[in-house]
Amino acid sequence: MPSLEWPVILLMFGRNISGERLKLTVWISSAVYAAVAALYFIPGGSDYEIVFPAAVLALFSIWLVPVPMSIALAASAAGDLMGAAGNFMVQMECFAVANLFLCLFFLQRLFQTGKASARNFSAILTRKRVAYLTVTGICVGTILLLAMVSIVPEVPQGAARAGVAFYSIVISLMFYTALMQRSIFYALGAFLFVISDFILAWDMFVEPLVHDSWLVMLPYFIAQWMFYVRATKYRVGKSILLARL
């Protein structure tokens, strides 16, 4: 049997599972994810248990979500691995890559959903949407300014401070592009992602926090799951249908 070419392999992402198989795979992957995430909070485990949740989603994502989201999940798993190994700089670089691919995913989705082109781009930028994007932009900019004023100056000078400043910009862009989707799942997931990283940076550079593992990891785990589930083609029940809009 001839081997698949790379373009064909890439086209398999998020396209070859549907119907009941899709539903079953999403539920199984979510259950496995919840189980391995819960293991992280059990005292006495290995530091490397933090890697397993994102790795589970990254593995299942190969068959369920578009390429950029799958790469973002894989980069997050790599960032968790570097964090467990104590390599903060590489950890930050991995999560910067994850956020950049999330931005790419959100921008692709925005234009595909709106069927953007040079012919009808003006139809997407309606007056109401421009007002919404302006308000959300001010909110995201305020969060970025808060990080730049309260956290970045506390980071040791040099590559670490520059890296944290750059990462603050990247994750803010991710948050903004997530809010552009007008999706509760994406907006809340991005917000929890930002909160998790903000608390982590505050704990590391400003002031140690009590129960920092819970404060950082619980919103992070929820955020990753919300990104993953929303990016699949699975349609949830009516009880949470509005969250998928």
Q: Each residue of 186-209: pLDDT tens digit?
A: 999 999 999 999 999 999 999 998
* CA-atom Rg of the chain in angstroms: 19
Q: Please tell me the distance from the alpha carbon of residue 65 to that of residue 148, in angstroms, as a whole number.
A: 33
Structurally, how many domains does the chain consist of? 1
Q: Please tell me the distance from the alpha carbon of residue 219 to that of residue 214, in angstroms, as a whole number.
A: 8
Token pair belonging to 43: 């005292």
Residue 1 maps to a domain? no
In terms of residues, how long is the chain?
A: 245
Q: What pLDDT was estimated at residue 117?
A: 46
Q: Each residue of 92-129: pLDDT tens digit?
A: 999 999 999 999 999 998 887 655 444 445 555 677 77
Q: By percentage, how much of the chain surpasses pLDDT 70?
A: 83
**Closest to 185 (Cα-Cα) out of 138, 235, 142:** 235
5-9, 80-84, 177-181 — which is least confidently predicted? 5-9
Residue 48 maps to a domain? yes
Q: Which domain range does residue 54 map to?
A: 6-244
Token pair belonging to 229: 């589930």
Buried b (16+ CB within 10 A) or exposed e, 186-222: bbbbbbbbbbbbbbbbbbbbeeeeeeeeebbbbbbbb
Looking at per-residue confidence, does 243 or 55 come out higher?
Answer: 55
Q: What pLDDT was estimated at residue 131?
A: 85
Q: What pLDDT was estimated at residue 238?
A: 47
**Closest to 201 (Cα-Cα) out of 146, 158, 142, 137:** 146
Angle at 18 between CA 67 and CA 219, to 5 degrees: 55
Residue 189 maps to a domain? yes
Find where tokens 């890697």 sit. Answer: 51
Residue 45 maps to a domain? yes
Residue 146 maps to a domain? yes
**Closest to 212 (Cα-Cα) out of 195, 199, 198:** 199
Q: What is the pLDDT averaged over residues 132-137? A: 89
Residue 197 maps to a domain? yes
**pTM confidence score:** 0.85
Q: What pLDDT was estimated at residue 236?
A: 62
Q: Please tell me the distance from the alpha carbon of residue 29 to that of residue 11, in angstroms, as a whole number.
A: 21
What element of type H or E holds 47? Answer: none
Burial (CB count within 10 angstroms: exposed 0-12, middle 13-18, buried 19+), residue 133: middle
The answer to whether 185 touches 229, Cβ cutoff 8 Å, is yes
What element of type H or E holds 84? Answer: helix 67-84
Q: What pLDDT was estimated at residue 115?
A: 52
Q: Please tell me the distance from the alpha carbon of residue 176 to that of residue 170, in angstroms, as a whole number.
A: 10
**Closest to 98 (Cα-Cα) out of 68, 118, 119:** 68
Helices (H), the chain: 6-11, 19-40, 51-64, 67-84, 88-114, 121-124, 127-150, 159-179, 184-201, 212-231
